[in-house]
Amino acid sequence: MKQKNAILSPIIMCGGSGTRLWPLSRAQFPKQFLALINDKSMLQDTLARLPTQHQAPLFICNEDHRFLVAEQIKQVNCSGASILLEPQGRNTAPAVAIAALNTLAKGDDALLLVLAADHVINDIKKFHQAIDIACIAAEQGALVTFGIVPTHVETGYGYIKQGTKKDTATYQVAQFIEKPTIEKAQSYVESGEYLWNSGMFLFKASRYLEELAKCRPDILAACQQAMANVTTDLDFIRPDREAFLQCANVSIDYAVMEKTDDAVVVPLDAGWSDIGSYSALWEIGEQDIHGNVLKGDVIAQDTHNSYLHSQNKLITTLGVDNLVVIDTPDAVLIADKNKVQNVASIVSELKARQRSETKLHRAVYRPWGKYDLVDQGGRFQVKRITVNSGAKLSLQVHQHRAEHWIIVSGIAKVTLNDEIIILKENQSTYIPIGAVHALENPGLLPLEMIEVQSGSYLGEDDIVRFEDKYGRIK
DSSP 371-432: EEEEEE-SSEEEEEEEE-TT-BPPEEE-SSEEEEEEEEES-EEEEETTEEEEE-TT-EEEE-
- For residue 256, the SS3 value is helix
- Enumerate residues 6+ apart whose C-beta is below 8 A from 344: 19, 20, 22
Nearest CA among 145, 131, 202, 156 for reference residue 338: 156
- For residue 143, the SS3 value is strand
Could you give the CA distance from residue 448 to residue 441 in angstroms, rounded to a whole number? Answer: 10
Residue 337 · residue 279 · CB < 8 Å: yes
Sign of CA dihedral 34, 274, 132, 144: negative
Note the pLDDT tens digit of each residue in 149-208. Answer: 999 999 889 999 999 998 878 999 999 999 999 999 999 999 999 999 999 999 999 999
Nearest CA among 133, 103, 123, 107 for reference residue 1: 133
Low-confidence ranges of the chain (pLDDT < 70): 1-6, 473-474
pLDDT reported for residue 6: 67
Q: What global pTM score does this model have?
A: 0.90
* Number of Cβ within a 10 Å radius of residue 390: 12
Beta bridge partners of 315: 298
* Number of Cβ within a 10 Å radius of residue 377: 9
- Enumerate residues 6+ apart whose C-beta is below 8 A from 258: 176
Alpha carbon 417 to its chain centroid, in Å, reads 39
Residue 300 · residue 294 · CB < 8 Å: yes
Could you give the CA distance from residue 18 to residue 29 in angstroms, rounded to a whole number? Answer: 9
Sign of CA dihedral 431, 433, 436, 437: positive
Q: Is 381 exposed, middle or buried (0-12, 13-18, 19+ CB in 10 A)?
A: middle
Could you give the CA distance from residue 282 to residue 280 in angstroms, rounded to a whole number? Answer: 5
Could you give the CA distance from residue 146 to residue 160 in angstroms, rounded to a whole number? Answer: 9
pLDDT reported for residue 307: 98
Backbone region of residue 285 per phi and psi (left: phi > 0; alpha: psi in -120 to 50; beta: other values): beta
pLDDT reported for residue 191: 95
Q: How many helices (H) and strands (E) does the chain have?
A: 11, 30
Which strand (E) or helix (H) includes residue 177?
Answer: strand 171-177
- Enumerate residues 6+ apart whose C-beta is below 8 A from 289: none
pLDDT reported for residue 474: 58
Residue 263 Cα distances to 137, 322, 465, angstroms: 10, 41, 50
Residue ranges and CATH numbers for the domains of the chain are 8-273 (3.90.550.10), 278-352 (no CATH), 363-467 (2.60.120.10)
pLDDT reported for residue 186: 96
pLDDT reported for residue 360: 86
User: What pairing do the DSSP bridges indicate for beta strands 395-397 and 464-467?
Assistant: antiparallel
pLDDT reported for residue 460: 87
Nearest CA among 251, 304, 307, 300 for reference residue 277: 307
Backbone region of residue 442 per phi and psi (left: phi > 0; alpha: psi in -120 to 50; beta: other values): alpha
pLDDT reported for residue 1: 44
Q: Is 114 exposed, middle or buried (0-12, 13-18, 19+ CB in 10 A)?
A: buried
- Enumerate residues 6+ apart whose C-beta is below 8 A from 198: 119, 145, 146, 147, 148, 268, 272, 274
Nearest CA among 258, 256, 260, 274 for reference residue 97: 256
Q: Is 188 exposed, middle or buried (0-12, 13-18, 19+ CB in 10 A)?
A: buried
DSSP E strand boundaries for 234-344: 236-238, 263-268, 272-273, 293-295, 298-304, 307-310, 315-321, 323-328, 331-336
Could you give the CA distance from residue 447 to residue 323 in angstroms, rounded to a whole number? Answer: 40
Nearest CA among 348, 326, 350, 248 for reference residue 31: 326
Q: Evaluate the omega torsion of the peptide bond into residue 30 and state whether it is cis, within 30 degrees of 0.
A: no
pLDDT reported for residue 244: 97
